[in-house]
Chain A
Amino acid sequence: MDADDETTAAMIDDEIYANGGGEDENRNRPIISGEPLDVEAYASLYGGRTKISRLLFIAEQSRGCRNEAMELEALRMAYDEVKKGENTQWFRDVAQKIDGRLGPEYQMDLAWCESVDRRAEQKREKLENELNAYRTNLIKESIRMGYNDFGDFHYSHGQLGDAFKNYVRTRDYCTTSKHIVHMCMCSILVSIEMGQFTHVASYVSKAEQTQEALDPITVAKLRCAAGLANLEAKKYKLAARKFLDTGHELGNNYNEVIAPQDIATYGGLCALASFDRAELKACILVLLSFVFWNKVIDNLNFRNFLELVPEIREVINDFYSSRYASCLDYLGNLKANLLLDIHLHDHLETLYDQIRNKALIQYTHPFVSVDLNMMANAFKTDVAGLEKELEALITDNQVQARIDSHNKILYARHADQRNATFQRALQTGNEFDRDVKSMLLRVNLFKHESNQKQSKKS
């Protein structure tokens, strides 16, 4: 079965490279791989605000790693994008960060800022007047649209808090479930940008309650958002389930938040860190189906899309077939680029640690005794380091074994239930003894006290 999967995957890979698409032929290599990130290609996956925030994040991280080339590339693209929009605050930030390093076309353009601000002020006044007019007329639908427009306005100008407030106000004027869903989706978008994932979770559940108005794309979007919320909350198992449930209908429709391969990446990593073997197998199949459907649906994008998925699929496959060294190697290669992702950044270390621990546990699970030298080879580490890692796992009770440090062997050890039960019983008896005796003593003392009080009274 696995062999078949492998060959079909290989065939598909060939077809990808054969098809190429209209654009750059030499862009055959994956977008996120061991090689340095191609910022332009990465950014082209997204649209809207998230494109700019991701670019800024990459610039920030590259600055930390002193990768000036990447930083400038990211800032350049960010500048171009911001100028297409109306967020002058962001423009000022970007121009300041560039600091003249990109030449005269990428300088602070105060004139542009001022004109945009002036237009914004005019628009705001207009919107406000309209909204007041609608409010006096008490036409629900117009009021709702008014607040919505206000929300959009604030959003495009980067005032996320005000945008959120306005979107939430439309709730009182929603008359159909479509309106409610629209309100939820806007709130979710803003909350994700603000990083307030508790709101995301609550609006997702609110939207999911209105079953009738939900088309498959919206359902997929909601699942994505829920996955992101779970990821932020460090509930990796739930996040993985949500991401894998998202399904292929999403395509490129949510690229103002997340790109299709991000779903595969986030879902795959979380699954690796938290699923057991049965669920992991199902995960591999889901990722495969991503491959098939997108190829059929979107010719242009599947090149972008699939180039990552084989990587993640390879990693999971290796893990599932116990090729831990190559799995961990792959992950190590991917790490530098994954750290540039705005959502994964804070969780990558934890996820990697969990994956490594799971690999160690899974390796030792079927054996009665394990030669530590061979195991160190399998994990491409040295015996001393391995011993330390295993010691931590044993202390944590995740591995039931004992280390023979003299001969460097790990012996499985299963707790003797009978002895443990006897011990616990005797101990409970002792505790009962002690507690009841002190209780009886205390009762005596209380009686004494109350006797004294009584005698004082009388």
Chain B
Amino acid sequence: MEVLVVNIQGLSTNPGDLPNLHNILKQAHDSLHAESIRLLPLLDMLDPSLHSLGYLYILEACTSSALSKEQASAVVLPTARFMNSCSKEQIQLAPEKFISVCKRFKDYVMQLEAPMRGVAPMLAAIRKIQSSSEHLTPLHPEFLVLCLLSKCYKAGLSILDEDIFEVDQPKDLLLYCYYGGMICIGEKRFRKALELLHNVVTAPMSVITAIAVEAYKKYILVSLIHNGQFSTSLPKYTSSVAQRNLKNICQPYIELANSYTTGKIADFETVAQKYQEKFDNDNNLGLVKQAISSMYKRNIQRLTQTYLTLSLQDIANSVQLNSAKEAEMHVLQMIQDGEIFATINQKDGMVSFLEDPEQYKSCGMIERIDSSIQRIMALSRKLTTMNENISCDPMYLAKVGRERQRFDFDDYDPVPQRFNI
């Protein structure tokens, strides 16, 4: 073992020696695994940032067998330090080991019931293993789970704001979007939540998974809260298994959505009451309550379209609230949240609805429009590049070549003969 440590210390400094070191470590793999947790003291002799590769192998061997609680807590601290300070280049040589170490780290942190301890290290780990900010690693969903459990939603949001285009494993993406949706719901960013859940529901899949079902349930509820409506028809690009089966499995939610569109709060509440147990079991009861309050909001917003001033009593009557006082509270909350523009005259008990003061003339607005345009142009370019790439992809051409019609020999053949499979 000491020989190994000396090698690590010696060969880690020079990047040219790294492949050599890597080979040595690979050969020592089995003997390391035999030692397992007894290797822990060796870590003290190594520096995680300089000797990252060696540190990684030893750490991986330490955690390869099941650990007791005390052993786990002993390992957690060095692992966290390692994840924060390891060197990116050395780690990239053995990514699977790194990922499995991080995953086990998450398990230990959960075992010790201190998910918050794992949030920062996991975030650092993601940055180290990501090839670009558009890359989704298997660590992303683990990170989001830790954020959810420790209620550090803002940390989760920082990752979610980055766009993902490259994916290693579809399952990672589904989990990522699902957990991401839940975090956004927690932070009340319903638009983003809707996007993420939509991605799960419409992802290509050959069998219905539990993730898709749960995501669909939340998708219905968030759609009601954010858009005020829900259409049961899924887009064309949804997989056929999803289109056929999701609706049947989530029947109570569809019924709830249908009663929302009638606009009658009493009806909606009856349906919610009817299936209360189911919603509770799925942990969606909070969302259902938010849907109810969103109904009140939507009704009040509709009033702003028809009235300039309206008495609080009339608002209470038309929105089916119990008293003018309740109406006042609702309106006050909506004004504070910026959902409507109004002023309340308490003396007369009247509310005056005002126009949206946004004139679209300010510098801020121009900047916003300009940045939107730039962003969309960039996206367009990306789309075109991807289109070109696929058109040149040999597999695609082979498939097209097989299925195209056979023209006359003299006709212009857009697909070269080479792909006549």
Question: A: which residues have CB within 8 A of B?
Answer: 390-391, 394-395, 402-407, 411, 418-419, 422, 425-426, 429-430, 432-434, 436-446, 448-450, 454
Contact = CB atoms under 8 A, between A and B. Distances in A.
B2 interface: no
A406 B170 contact: no
Contacts of A411: 308
B198 interface: yes
Contact of A403 (B173, B308, B380, B390): B308
Contacts of B314: 405
Contacts of B163: 437
A402 B307 contact: yes
A432 B376 contact: yes
B164 A441 contact: yes
Contact of B309 (A404, A425, A439, A446): A404
A185 B133 CA distance: 77
Contact of B203 (A394, A419, A445): A445
Given A419-B356, A444-B167, A395 B309 contact: no
B378 to A, nearest CB: 10
A437 B307 contact: no
A445 B170 CA distance: 6
Nearest to B382: A440
A216 B237 CA distance: 59
Q: Specify the main secondary structure of chain A where it touches its partner.
A: helix
A394 B309 CA distance: 15
Contacts of A418: 360
B130 interface: no
Interface in B325-357: 348, 350, 352-353, 356
Contact of A402 (B308, B359, B369): B308
Nearest to B358: A419
B204 interface: yes
Contact of B305 (A394, A440, A444, A454): A394
Nearest to B198: A438
Nearest to A390: B306
A405 B307 contact: yes
Chain B CB count within 10 A is highest, among A402, A426, A441, for A441
Contacts of A404: 307-309
Contact of A442 (B202, B306, B368): B202
A429 B379 CA distance: 11
Contacts of B307: 391, 402-405
A398 B314 CA distance: 23
A436 B163 CA distance: 11
A430 B383 CA distance: 16
B306 A440 contact: no
Given A405-B308, A406-B311, A437-B163, 9 more contacts: A402-B306, A402-B307, A403-B306, A419-B358, A422-B369, A426-B369, A436-B379, A440-B386, A441-B164
A316 B352 CA distance: 40
Given A411-B308, A419-B358, A438 B199 contact: yes
B407 interface: no
A394 B304 CA distance: 11
B390 to A, nearest CB: 8
Interface of B: 163-167, 170, 173, 195, 198-199, 202-204, 237, 302, 305-311, 314, 348, 350, 352-353, 356, 358-360, 365, 368-369, 372-373, 375-376, 379-380, 382-383, 386, 390, 395
A308 to B, nearest CB: 40
Contacts of B359: 419
A139 to B, nearest CB: 57
Given A402-B306, A419-B359, A454-B395, A441 B165 contact: yes
Given A419-B359, A450-B395, A438 B202 contact: yes
Nearest to A425: B369
Please indicate which of the listed interface residues A430, A442, A454 has the most CB atoms of chain B within 10 Å of its own CB.
A442
Contacts of B358: 419
A444 B173 CA distance: 11
A411 B204 CA distance: 52
Given A442-B204, A444-B165, A433 B310 contact: no
Contacts of A426: 368-369, 372
B167 A438 contact: no
Contacts of A448: 167, 170
A426 B368 CA distance: 9
Contacts of A439: 383
B299 to A, nearest CB: 12
Contacts of A430: 372
Contacts of A443: 386, 390
Contact of A406 (B350, B365, B382): B350
Contacts of B376: 429, 432-433
Nearest 7 CB-CB pairings of A with B? A422-B360, A406-B309, A402-B308, A404-B308, A394-B306, A429-B372, A405-B310
A395 B348 CA distance: 26
Nearest to A421: B360
Contacts of B395: 450, 454
Contacts of A390: 306
B375 A441 contact: no
Contacts of B309: 404-407
A390 to B, nearest CB: 8
A436 B380 CA distance: 8
B204 A391 contact: no
Interface centre among B302, B309, B375 (most CB of A within 10 A): B309
A139 B359 CA distance: 83
Contacts of B302: 395
A25 B167 CA distance: 95
Contacts of B372: 426, 429-430, 433
A445 B202 CA distance: 11
A232 B350 CA distance: 47
Contacts of B369: 422, 425-426
A444 B166 contact: yes
B361 to A, nearest CB: 9
A433 B373 CA distance: 10
B195 A438 contact: yes
B354 to A, nearest CB: 11
Contacts of A422: 360, 365, 369
Contacts of A395: 302, 305-306
B404 to A, nearest CB: 18
B203 A442 contact: yes
Kindly name the residue among A406, A426, A438 whose own CB sees the greatest number of chain B CB atoms within 10 A. A406
A437 B237 CA distance: 14
17 contacts: A394-B306, A402-B353, A406-B350, A418-B360, A419-B358, A436-B383, A437-B163, A437-B195, A438-B195, A438-B202, A440-B382, A440-B386, A443-B390, A444-B165, A445-B203, A445-B204, A448-B167
